[in-house]
Structure 1
Amino acid sequence: MTLTAEISKDHSERSYSPEEIDPRIYDLYDEFCHTSMDRRTFLARAAALGIIGGVAMAQALLPRYAEAAMVKFTDPRIKPTYVEYDSPGGTSGKMRGYLVQPTGEGPFPAVVVIHENRGLNPHIEDVARRAALEGFLAFAPDGLYPIGGYPGNDEDGKAMQAGLDKGKLFTDLLNGAKFVKAHPLSTGKLGATGFCYGGGVVNAFAVEMGADLNAGVPFYGAAAKAEDVPKIQAPLLIQYAEDDPRINAMREGYEAALKSNGKSFEAHVYPGTKHGFHNNSTPRFNEEQAKIAWDRTVAFFKAHLA
């Protein structure tokens, strides 16, 4: 049977709840998300595992953004728009992002939302809208804008982002944080949150921005280097998935460095979760734990950005 036929057959038989998906498929999906593996290879390797329904399980993990938005872009309680900003030292010198303001005159405390390793996809835009509903001026920059912007699917976005100069990409995102902090609708208080790659960027912002960052909430992101921790001044709320070996391997060293340098932080490991558990567009989403993590995030920002 060809892969195309197997995909069709497997997909038609049934759907799978998160608990029914084989752990080997989750591991393969994590590899797919964080390497140059393309979708066809991902599905072929799922088929090669010999798991009954393996291809359908793999397909079930692919994001379904249209079904997942928690806050519609037409919600009358927010005002979303795309804006451009200057980005000296970045990929092209110009950037664009998704700015979402609450209704009202403001000013509002600002929160920058940093995407994963695939550009500004619909899920990250939805997170920005959620932040605006909580009273923050939310801004989500698109690191892919200088090369055409998020292409409409994560697989191409992943390849595009991998091709960018990492230092220039970070500069573009850092300039986005500075842009929203200085925005006329901002109080000048800035929080940052991000997911996966974006979580690592939040830790890096804490190092780079010093006192200019007022609070950081990295979700399952790469830790800052121990030698850079003394530069951190922002309080951090560090969010971990329970089953996330790659990121959790950095946890002990990072927390030890934060403690030894007297930094303000708290860390939470969410039981029964996998990397990406906050993203409600795939079965890795854990509704209960994602709500707890988001509620903590909002409370943390409100406490430190007041």
Structure 2
Amino acid sequence: MEITIPTPAGDIDGYLATPTGPGPFPAVVIVHDAIGLSNDAREITDRFASEGYLALSPNLYSRGGRFRCVRQVFKDMFARSGRAFDDIEASRVLLSAREDCSGKIGIAGYCMGGGFALVAASRSFDVSAPYYGQLPRDLSVLDDACPVVASFGRRDPSLRGAATKLSAALTECNVPHDVKEYPDAGHSFANKMGPAPVQAFAKVVGFGYHEPSDRDAWQRVMTFFGEYLKTPSKG
């Protein structure tokens, strides 16, 4: 359902999907790709809810529309600060305050959102799942990261070598992780980018949905999230 998320800079839009049953449920903040809070982003949110997660996708383009906001949102991502991160934190706070939330909250992000999910791994989340996210320029931001399950496509021209680099950084920081690069996938392999002709063109330039890779990545994310979000806290 469509909801309003209170933030320090005013309310923004969001999409909330709830699992069936009484709860409480672990939760996930899902950060959309550069296209925005599209039908695809809503379907991904519903997909998390179907697996038992209270799922919330904030609309990072709420303040003026996609074309006005996209530059500022990317600027926030590379700066590792700004309203976009405030919006993500406000989403986490909203979930944590709900009676049907168990208190354990992860973050997942796609494309642009994957970059946010990586940086936010060091900011009060219990687990992070970046999909083909841009790596932080300074990988020391991951020193205090929560567990990370990351997915990349080898045919992605924009992130060559990112999986290897991220895995090495997380190993050095002793952060539990599962990083995988899919040989037959490109960028956005877990996003359905509109009609078939659009997807066909996207694949030519190294983008586009790839069902086998998406299916495997989803299974890995669910296993990882199950371990860190659904397992009761020790003690």
Letter in 1 for 2:127: A
Q: 99, 105, 114: which is aligned to 2:31?
A: 114
Q: 103, 107, 110: which is aligned to 1:192?
A: 107
- Whether 1:239 aligns to 2:156 is no
CA RMSD after TM alignment: 1.8
Once the two structures are superposed, the pairs formed by residues 1-306 of structure 1 within 5 Å of their partners are 81-88=1-8, 92-147=9-64, 157-163=66-72, 166=76, 167-207=82-122, 209=123, 212-224=124-136, 225-232=138-145, 234-281=146-193, 282-283=199-200, 284-306=208-230
Letter in 1 for 2:166: Y
| Stretch deviating more after TM superposition (133-142 or 165-174) | 165-174
Shift of 1:99: 0.7
Q: Tell me the distance in 1 between the aligned counterparts of 2:164 and 2:222.
A: 25
Q: Tell me the distance in 2 between the aligned counterparts of 1:162 and 1:112.
A: 22
| CA displacement, residues 179-222 of structure 1 (integer Å, 9 cap, x when unaligned) | 22332221010111110000001001112x1xx31111100001
| CA displacement, residues 161-183 of structure 1 (integer Å, 9 cap, x when unaligned) | 22556221222123212322332
Which residue number corresponds to residue 62 of structure 1?
none
Shift of 1:135: 0.7
Contact 2:163 2:181 in 1 (8 A): no
Q: Which has the larger radius of gyration?
A: 1
SS of residue paired to 2:185? strand
Contact 1:279 1:285 in 2 (8 A): yes
User: CA, structure 1 residues 96+236, in 2 after alignment: closer, same or farther (shift >3 Å)?
Assistant: same
Q: Tell me the distance in 1 between the aligned counterparts of 2:218 and 2:5.
A: 28
Contact 1:118 1:158 in 2 (8 A): no
TM-score, normalization by structure 2: 0.83
TM-score, normalization by structure 1: 0.65
Contact 2:17 2:46 in 1 (8 A): yes
Q: Which runs of 5+ in 1 are unaligned?
A: 1-80, 149-156
Letter in 2 for 1:198: G
Q: Which runs of 5+ in 2 are unaligned?
A: 77-81, 194-198, 201-207, 231-235
The number of residues matched between the two structures is: 211
Identity fraction in percent: 28
Q: Tell me the distance in 1 between the aligned counterparts of 2:164 and 2:217.
A: 20
Contact 1:276 1:285 in 2 (8 A): yes
SS of residue paired to 1:84? strand
Contact 1:242 1:274 in 2 (8 A): yes
> Is the helix fraction higher in 1 or 2?
1
